[in-house]
Amino acid sequence: MTAPAGVPDWSTPAGQGGPSALLLIPGPTPLAPEVLAALARPPQSHTAPATAMAVRAVQLGVQAAVGAGPDTVVHVLPGSGTLALESALVNLVEPGDRVVCCVHGYFGDRFQMVAERLGARVTRLEAPWGEAVDADRVAAALRAGPVRAVTVTHVDTSTAVAARLEEVAQVLRGRDTLFVVDAVASAGGMPVEMARLGIDVVATSSQKALAMPAGLALVAVGPRAQARRSARERVPTLYLDWAEWAGVMAEPSRYFATHAVNLVVAGAAACRRAEAEGWEPRFARHRRVAAAARAGLAALGLPPAAAAGAELASTLSAVRVDPAVSAADLRAAVQAQGVVIAGGLGPWSSDTVRVGHMGEVGLPELLAGLAAIERGLARVSPRPVDGAGVAAALRQAG
Ligand SMILES: *Cc1c(COP(=O)(O)O)cnc(C)c1O
């Protein structure tokens, strides 16, 4: 039987973007064999002890990954990162509340859209693409009147720029305003330090640096955010209501709505791997691989697209493509080598590409990726490239 036109032939090997291609996009990311094996297990009951233990393992893994305090409740829901953002704000924000949204790229816009759908009066603090919002501007916005919540995208995946959470935390210290962070592109690959920075909610998802399959929305809810939900009579949606889930998240064998059974079992396997590596060593590995990626890409004439001095993410790189080269052609030529990289978003869609280096991606995978980018570039670029990227990455890695 042949696949209908337009549907990829999944039996093809790497080279056509098939299932064995090396996935270097900013999520979904490659999965370890034991995580894949968990997906193929026969389903078990959503209330079975083994399922409850898997949910608990994912909760504890996320809690450790984001540096959450002991009183944090981690909600594990079937869904994607966007649902995690929605879960955060639907429980905290009611119509008319003022919310300050720090926007430094595509996903900052999304957080603002979530707030607006809930009827928040949004103050948008926007940084040019490639920079992050200065904490002084947050301080100024807080002086203008009471603010229910400040949202910050930790790593905006569109620019690979990281917000300086510590500086925003200093501005918010000692205030009632809730600090809500989108850590979808950072949790598991970079420290978030939820408790130390006084972050009230960290929203993330499974398919990026946590190296779990796509499909879990993960929301770490600190004590002040829990208290805010308790102080409200009801929230507008049933499924996302933390009060409905509270019993389940305390004892995951209870029922409110069905756990994504195989995804949580796979997620638990991914957490076991991360814990065997150690979260701090894992963050250090991401920093090393990111430095090697930047060295290798820069040597190929693909420098960071961010402004000089911006804090760069350890989990992915967004790089500027030479005007003589079409970014779309480059991606296609790289894909023909068996490696999938991502295109740019929004205003950067025509002249940047993005390379994910998070989760299971270590130096060997990065070097394979750089080799493919090099060979792809050699096909579409007028400039010679001859091994410069791999060599520079190796030199940086030491
Ligand atoms: C990927 C991403 C999202 C959206 O996640 P989905 O799983 O695609 O819904 C939100 N924020 C950031 C920073 C992301 O990288």
| DSSP string of 108-168, one letter each residue | HHHHHHHHHHTT-EEEEEEPPTTS---HHHHHHHHHTS--SEEEEESEETTTTEEP-HHHH
| Residue located nearest, by CA, to atom 12 of ligand 1 | 184
Residue 1 inside a domain? The answer is no
Residue 391 inside a domain? The answer is yes
- Same domain, yes or no: 261 and 333: no
**What's 223's domain CATH number?**
3.40.640.10
- Same domain, yes or no: 194 and 338: no
Tell me the pTM: 0.95
How far away, in angstroms, is 184 Cα from ligand 1 center?
6
Token pair in block for residue 22: 């090396």
Distance separating alpha carbons of residues 154 and 111, to the nearest angstrom: 12
How far away, in angstroms, is 394 Cα from ligand 1 center?
31
- Same domain, yes or no: 24 and 67: no
Residue 81: give the domain boundaries. 33-275
pLDDT tens digits for range 308-332 = 999 999 999 999 999 999 999 999 9
Q: Judge whether residue 174 has pLDDT over 60.
A: yes
pLDDT > 70 fraction of the chain, expressed in percent and rounded:
95
How far away, in angstroms, is 81 Cα from ligand 1 center?
5
**What's 21's domain CATH number?**
3.90.1150.10
Q: Is 2 left (phi over 0), alpha (psi -120 to 50) or beta?
A: beta
Distance separating alpha carbons of residues 397 and 367, to the nearest angstrom: 11
Q: Judge whether residue 48 has pLDDT over 90.
A: yes
- Same domain, yes or no: 371 and 242: no
Ligand 1 contact via 348 beta carbon (within 6 Å): no
How far away, in angstroms, is 210 Cα from ligand 1 center?
13
Ligand 1 contact via 82 beta carbon (within 6 Å): yes
- Report whether 201 contacts 219 (CB < 8 A): yes
Number of domains in the chain: 2
| 220, 254, 275 - which closes a domain | 275
Distance separating alpha carbons of residues 142 and 123, to the nearest angstrom: 10
Residue 133 inside a domain? The answer is yes
Query: What are the residues whose beta carbons fall under 8 Å from the beta carbon of 278, sequence distance 6 or more?
Result: none
pLDDT tens digits for range 271-309 = 999 999 999 999 999 999 999 999 999 999 999 999 999
Residue 301 inside a domain? The answer is yes
- Same domain, yes or no: 146 and 225: yes
pLDDT tens digits for range 207-236 = 999 999 999 999 999 999 999 999 999 999
Ligand 1 contact via 185 beta carbon (within 6 Å): yes
Helix then strand then coil, in percent of the chain rounded to 5, is 40, 15, 45
How far away, in angstroms, is 120 Cα from ligand 1 center?
21
pLDDT at residue number 287: 98
pLDDT at residue number 386: 78
Ligand 1 contact via 204 beta carbon (within 6 Å): no
Question: By mean pLDDT, which of 20-24, 45-49, 169-173, 382-386 is the weakest?
Answer: 382-386
How far away, in angstroms, is 385 Cα from ligand 1 center?
33
- Same domain, yes or no: 183 and 125: yes
Atom of ligand 1 nearest to the CA of 154: 13
In a mutational test of the pocket of ligand 1, which residue from 107, 154, 159 has the highest number of ligand atoms less than 8 Å from its CB?
107
- Same domain, yes or no: 344 and 380: yes
Ligand 1 contact via 157 beta carbon (within 6 Å): yes
Residue 305: what are its φ and ψ, rounded to 5°? -80, -15
Distance separating alpha carbons of residues 266 and 62, to the nearest angstrom: 14
Residue 179 inside a domain? The answer is yes
Pick the closest to residue 377 from 386, 366, 390, 364 (CA basis).
386
Pick the closest to residue 162 from 132, 189, 135, 136 (CA basis).
132
Ligand 1 contact via 106 beta carbon (within 6 Å): no
- Same domain, yes or no: 37 and 174: yes
Residue 6 inside a domain? The answer is no
pLDDT at residue number 385: 81
Distance separating alpha carbons of residues 130 and 159, to the nearest angstrom: 6
User: What's 180's DSSP letter?
Assistant: E
- Same domain, yes or no: 375 and 262: no
How far away, in angstroms, is 392 Cα from ligand 1 center?
31
- Report whether 332 contacts 343 (CB < 8 A): no
pLDDT tens digits for range 8-32 = 554 454 444 455 799 999 999 999 9
Residue 4 inside a domain? The answer is no
What number of residues does the chain have? 398
Q: Judge whether residue 173 has pLDDT over 90.
A: yes
| 244, 275, 306 - which closes a domain | 275
pLDDT at residue number 8: 52
- Same domain, yes or no: 263 and 283: no
Residue 3 inside a domain? The answer is no
Distance separating alpha carbons of residues 324 and 305, to the nearest angstrom: 16
pLDDT at residue number 382: 86
| 246, 275, 304 - which closes a domain | 275
- Report whether 97 contacts 91 (CB < 8 A): no
Q: CB 71: neighbour CB atoms within 10 A?
A: 11
- Same domain, yes or no: 51 and 187: yes
pLDDT at residue number 146: 97
pLDDT at residue number 378: 94
| Residue located nearest, by CA, to atom 8 of ligand 1 | 81
Distance separating alpha carbons of residues 152 and 342, to the nearest angstrom: 23
Token pair in block for residue 70: 């002991």
C-alpha 108: how far from its chain's center?
Answer: 12
Atom of ligand 1 nearest to the CA of 205: 7
| Residue located nearest, by CA, to atom 6 of ligand 1 | 81
Residue 377: what are its φ and ψ, rounded to 5°? -65, -40
- Same domain, yes or no: 354 and 228: no
Q: Judge whether residue 103 has pLDDT over 80.
A: yes
Ligand 1 contact via 27 beta carbon (within 6 Å): yes
| Residue located nearest, by CA, to atom 15 of ligand 1 | 185
